[in-house]
Amino acid sequence: MVGFNTRAIHSVTLKEDVHHAIRQPIYSGVAFSFDSAEEQEEAFRGNRPSHMYSRISNPTVEEFENKLRSLEDGIGAIAVASGMAAISNVLITLLEAGDNIIASNALFGGTVSLLKNVLSPLGIEIRFVDLESLSATEAQIDERTRVIFFETIANPQMNVYDIARISQLAEKHHIVVVADSTVTTPYLFKAKSFGVNIVVHSTSKLISGGATSIGGAIVDMGNFDWTHIKKLAKYHRLKAWAFIAKLRKEVFRDLGACLSPHHAYLQSLGLETLSLRVDRSCQNTQQVADYLAGHPSVRQVNYPGLANSPYRSIAKAQFNDRFGSVLSFELADKANSFAFLNRLKIFKRATNLGDNTSLAVHPASTIFVDYSAEDRAAMKVSEGLIRLSVGIEDIEDILQDLEQAL
Q: Which is nearer to ligand PLP, 111 or 337 (CB)?
A: 111
Distance from C-alpha of 378 to C-alpha of 291, rounded to nearest angstrom: 28
Q: Which is nearer to ligand PLP, 245 or 328 (CB)?
A: 328
Q: Which of residues 254-293 bind ligand PLP (CB under 6 A)?
A: none
**Nearest distance, CB of residue 128 and ligand PLP, angstroms:** 16
Residue 180: other Cβ atoms inside 10 A: 25
Q: Which is nearer to ligand PLP, 86 or 245 (CB)?
A: 86
Residue 161: other Cβ atoms inside 10 A: 26
Sketch the per residue contact string, 197 through 236, with ligand PLP: x for CB under 6 A, - otherwise: -----x-xx--------x-x--------------------
Distance from C-alpha of 125 to C-alpha of 138, rounded to nearest angstrom: 16
Q: Which of residues 45-64 bind ligand PLP (CB under 6 A)?
A: none
Cα torsion 274, 279, 281, 285: sign: positive
Q: Does 324 bind ligand PLP (CB under 6 A)?
A: no
Of 357, 356, 306, which Cα lies nearest the Cα of 328? 306
Cα torsion 367, 373, 375, 379: sign: positive
**Nearest distance, CB of residue 109 and ligand PLP, angstroms:** 9
Q: Which is nearer to ligand PLP, 229 or 392 (CB)?
A: 392
3-state secondary structure 14-43: CCCCCCCCCCCCCCCCCECCCCCHHHHHHH
Q: Which is nearer to ligand PLP, 103 or 183 (CB)?
A: 183
Sketch the per residue contact string, 1 through 40, with ligand PLP: x for CB under 6 A, - otherwise: ----------------------------------------
The correct pick among 88, 100, 167, 182 for binding ligand PLP (CB under 6 A) is 182
**Nearest distance, CB of residue 107 and ligand PLP, angstroms:** 8
Q: Which of residues 71-100 bind ligand PLP (CB under 6 A)?
A: 82-84
For 150, phi then psi, to 5°, come to -155, 170
The correct pick among 65, 132, 180, 383 for binding ligand PLP (CB under 6 A) is 180
The correct pick among 34, 43, 50, 110 for binding ligand PLP (CB under 6 A) is 110
The correct pick among 151, 220, 355, 383 for binding ligand PLP (CB under 6 A) is 151
Q: Does 344 bind ligand PLP (CB under 6 A)?
A: no
Q: Are 127 and 81 in contact (CB under 8 A)?
A: no
Q: Does 104 bind ligand PLP (CB under 6 A)?
A: no
For 376, phi then psi, to 5°, come to -65, -40
**Nearest distance, CB of residue 351 and ligand PLP, angstroms:** 9
Q: Extract long-range pairs of 124-128: CB within 8 Å, 24+ residues apart.
A: 124/91, 124/95, 124/96, 124/97, 124/99, 124/100, 125/99, 125/100, 125/101, 126/100, 126/101, 127/100, 127/101, 127/102, 127/103, 128/103, 128/104
Distance from C-alpha of 266 to C-alpha of 309, rounded to nearest angstrom: 36
Residues that bind ligand PLP (CB under 6 A): 82-84, 108, 110-111, 151, 180, 182-183, 202, 204-205, 214, 216, 353
